[in-house]
Chain A
């Protein structure tokens, strides 16, 4: 398992290649990547991501460990950035490796659902007209009930 909370960019291809090359018992690798989406108006300048150093790593580790208990996984990777990002920048990625695809897909969805509302990150959208904290969505909280 690898958890990384970092300011710098990550190389999606290199990360996926390294992760996939880990163990030939894993017949399935799933990766998900989150990207900074521009606003409908197209005027997002910066997405600022704040986090709680210490708790963030603990929370992500706990979520990944829970996933490993629930599904048969060979490996888990979580990378999440913080700081100032621009539209189109990659915010985060998760990758799961398993013998079979069902475990890999479900675990990746579980990681994303929990990471959205249980990992201490907060997003702020900065435009030319001002700055606004992104509000948590009820549907993200509701998504946890399916697990």
Chain B
């Protein structure tokens, strides 16, 4: 699946997008898998209450299943307008 990062999450991880092969069942599982990979991921995902997640471009939550999902995006709370 494609994993996208925006705003300070993108800056902390150091890239806007990557392709990840994963068996993670839920968003939380994916976060745990990425956090275990390298410190920069652990730093970005340290406080999940400061993050939002979208699955296939719809806002979702960290308990959500990743079955059939093609695009996951992590970002801070939005500041439009």
Most buried by A among B4, B8, B73, B77: B77
A-B contact count (CB 8 A): 70
Judge if A83 is at the interface, Cβ distance under 8 Å.
no
Is the CB–CB distance between A117 and B78 below 8 Å?
Answer: yes
Complex contact B73–A117 (CB within 8 A): no
Say whether A102 faces chain B, with CB atoms less than 8 Å apart.
Answer: no
Instruction: Count A interface residues, CB 8 Å.
Output: 26
Known: A122-B6, A122-B7, A124-B7. A52 touches B57 (CB 8 A): yes
Interface code A8-44, partner B: CB below 8 Å = 1, 0 otherwise? 0000000000000000000000000010000000000
Residues of A with C-beta under 8 A to B73 = 52, 55, 120
Residues of B at the A interface (CB closer than 8 Å) are 4, 6-8, 54, 57-59, 73, 75-81
> What are 7 A-B interface contacts by the 8 Å CB criterion?
A52-B57, A55-B54, A55-B58, A120-B54, A120-B78, A133-B79, A136-B77
Given contacts A120-B54, A120-B73, 11 further A-B contacts (CB under 8 A): A52-B4, A55-B58, A92-B81, A115-B81, A116-B81, A117-B79, A118-B80, A119-B80, A119-B81, A122-B75, A135-B79
